[in-house]
Structure 1
C-alpha cells in the first residue's frame, strides 16, 4: 500500500503532465504559426484574377418553360373504336399524314344510304323539270292551262329542294367518314400518343398531340411588381434545364395585359434570337430581362468559397493570401458572374480556383512574369472578364517547399 505522501506526488505529476500542451498542438492551435510553417504557394499568372468594373444586365427575373408555338391536340370528333395508330412518340410527320384510324363501319352505311337518297332525288328533279318544260311550251301555244303549268312548277321546285337536302346529307355523311381518319395538320413531330388500337374513343377524347419543334419560344412569368420595367423588344438572357453550357438569348414579343389571379405574375412571350433553340418542349428555363445596364465589380463563381450563407475569396496582397469575406449581389446569367457589393476593391487580385487546403496568411511566391505585374489580360475594357469569355478552370500551382 502506497504512502499518502507518495500517492499525492504521483497524482500531482499526472495532472501536470495532462495540463501541459504538446509543442505540436501549440503550433496547430496558433493560426499565425501554422501559416508561417506552411510551405510557400507558387502562383502563376493564370492563377490570378484582377477585379474590375464591368457592366451587367439588370432587370426582372423571368421563369417559365420552353413551349412550341405551333402545337395541336387532336381529339375524337365522333364516338368510335380505335382501329390503328400509325405514328409513335418522336416520329416526324408531314402535313396530311394519317396518324389514327377509327372504325367507320356504321358511317359507311350512312354514306351509302345518303348517296342512294341523293340519286333518287336527282331523278325526281329531272322528271319534274321535264314535265314543267313541256307544260310551259304547251301553255305558250294555248294548248294547256296556266294552272297546270303552275302546278308543274311547284312540283319542280319541291323536287329541287329535296335534291339539295339529299346532297347536304351526303356531304355530312362523308364528312363524318373523314373524321375517322385523324391526319397531321402541319409538318412536325408526334409529342404524345394517347390511345392504342382497341380503345374506345369518346367524343372529345384526346388521341394524339403534334408539335412543330422549329417554333419553340420561351413562355415565362415575371412578378407583377416589376412589370413596369417590361417593354416589347427587350433582350432576355436565360438558361434552359438540360442545356447547362448554353446561354440563350431572346427578345420580348408579347406582354400579357392580365396578371394571374393566384400567383400575381404576368406572362411574357420571348422569341429565340438566332437559329439555336432547344428541340424539346416543356423544359424549365430561368433568366433575366435586360431592362437596364449596371456597372459593378464582378467575380466568377469558381473563385468563391462558400461556408453556409457566407462567401469568401482568397485575396493576394503583400506576398500573402488572405481569406476575405465578400457580400454578393445579383448574378449575371449571361456571363455567369456575381456582383460584389463589399469585401474587395477594384484592382484587387484574387485566386481564380482556390483549393480547400489553403491557410490564411500563407506566403505566396509569384513567378517572374507575375512578379513584374505582366499578368495576361483576361479582362474586358473595363477590367472585368469580357462578355462571353470563358475563364478556364486551371489547376492551382504546386506548393514549393519552405525548407
Structure 2
C-alpha cells in the first residue's frame, strides 16, 4: 500500500514538473528569437560614388528635312517653254541658273507700248519745263535722251520744288512711271531662277503646259544642310540649349555626323509632355526624309554623382550605411538616363546601399560584404 501511494505521488510530481517546464519553453524561445533577430547583421553590397561634373546624354530619333526648301508656284500666266523638259525629279541647278521660263512675248510687247507712251508723255512736258522750270529742263532732257525702251526705266530726276512735283503729277508722269515699274517687276516673274544650288524633288508640269498665277510647279531643295526634328522629354530639357552639340547616326548606312541645336519649340506636346528640338547638320550621304538617331550632349551637372536608379524610392530617398546600420537619406534627382540616376545631396565617400532589401528599415544592422 505504501509503495502504491509512493508511486502515485512520484507520478504526480513528474507531471507537475513537465507542465511547468512546458510553460517556460515558449517564453525562452521567444526571448531567444528576439535577441537573435536584433543581433544578426545582414551582409550587403555598397558603392562609394564620387562627386564630379556629369554630362547627361539624351537619345532621340527624328527625320531630316532640308534647311532650304523652295516651293515653286507660277506668278504669271502663260505657256511653259522648253526649259520645263529639264525640270524633272533629281535634276540639279546652280544658283542663278534658269529653272523654268514662261512665254513672255505678248506681255513684253505690251510693256514696250507702255514705255513708248511714257516717253511721248514726258517729251510733251519739256517745252513747259523750259519756260516755267528752267533749272529742271536740262535734267529731264538728258533723262529722256538716255532712255532705252528695251531696258528698265531709270529713276526719275529728283526735285526739291513742290510746284514742279504738282505739275508733273498733273501731267500723269508719276502714275505712268510707276505703272511701268510694276509691269517690269511682273515681267521678271516669267522667268524663275534657282535661289541656291539645289536639286528638284518634285515636278508637276511638262513643257507646253499652260499655267496661271498660283499654279504649283514643283519643289526644289538644297542638299547642303538639313534640320533634324526630334522630340525630347520635358524633364530632360533643362540641360539642352541653343548651340548644344549632338552626334548623329543611322541604322541604315554607315557613318556619323555632327550636329548643333538651332531651334527649340516654345510649346510642348501635352499628350507626351515632350518638346520639339531642331538640330542642324550636313553630309554628302544625307538625304531628305532619312531617319537619324541623335545623342544630345547636355551641359554637365556640377558636383553631382551617378548611382543605380533602382536604389531611389518614390520619395527620392536612398539608404546610406553609417556605423554598421542603415539610414534614410534625402537626395535630389537631377536626371535619369537608362538605369542610372544623377543625384546631389550626398557627401563624397558615403557608403550607399547597392543591394535591394525589401524588408530594410531605419537602423537595420548590416555589414559590407567583402568581394571575393
Q: Give the structure-2-normalised TM-score.
A: 0.51
The equivalent of 2:221 in structure 1 is 211
CA distance in structure 1 between the aligned counterparts of 2:239 and 2:280, rounded to whole angstroms: 18
Quick check: 1:269 aligned with 2:278?
Answer: yes
Question: How big is the shift at 1:187?
Answer: 2.2
**CA gap 1:287/1:159 in 2 versus in 1, 3 angstroms:** closer
Q: Of the candidates 172, 176, 197, which is equivalent to residue 166 of structure 1?
A: 176
Q: Which has the larger radius of gyration?
A: 2
Q: 1:285 aligns with which of 292, 295, 310?
A: 292
RMSD between aligned alpha carbons?
Answer: 3.8
Corresponding position of 1:367: none
| Structure 2: segments with no counterpart, 5+ residues | 1-53, 135-162, 309-336, 340-353, 356-372
The equivalences for 1:81-100 within 5 A come to 81-84=79-82, 85=84, 86-100=86-100
Label 1:131 to 1:107 Cα distance change in 2 as closer, same or farther (>3 A): same
Deviates more, 1:102-111 or 1:64-73: 102-111
Matched ranges for 1:300-339 at <5 A: 330=338
Structure 2 counterpart of 1:195: 205
Offset at residue 179 of structure 1 (A): 0.5
Counterpart Cα distance in 2 of 1:107 and 1:133: 36
How many angstroms does 1:60 deviate by? 3.3
What per-residue deviation string (whole Å, max 9, x for no partner) do you get for residues 322-341 of structure 1?
xxxxxxx959xxxxxxxxx9
Unaligned regions of 5+ residues in structure 1, if any? 1-55, 135-152, 298-328, 332-340, 343-403
Rate the CA distance shift 1:69–1:155 in 2: closer, same or farther, 3 A. Answer: closer
Distance 1:260 1:118, change over 3 A: farther
Describe the SS at the equivalent of 1:167. Answer: helix
User: Among residues 253, 258, 261, which one is paired with 1:252 in the alignment?
Assistant: 261
Change (3 A) 1:103 1:59: same
1:3-402 mapped onto 2 (5 Å cutoff): 58-84=56-82, 85=84, 86-132=86-132, 157-158=167-168, 162-240=172-250, 242-243=252-253, 245-260=254-269, 264-272=273-281, 276=283, 278-291=285-298, 330=338
When normalised by structure 1's length, the TM-score is 0.48
**Other structure's SS at 2:280 match:** strand
| CA pair 240-107 structure 1, distance change in 2 beyond 3 A | farther
For the 8 Å contact 1:242–1:283, the answer to whether it is kept is: no
Q: Residues 288, 280 of structure 1: CA spacing in aligned structure 2 closer, same or farther, 3 A cutoff? A: same
Label 1:125 to 1:220 Cα distance change in 2 as closer, same or farther (>3 A). farther
3-state DSSP of counterpart to 1:128:
helix
Contact 2:204/2:217 (8 A) holds in 1:
yes
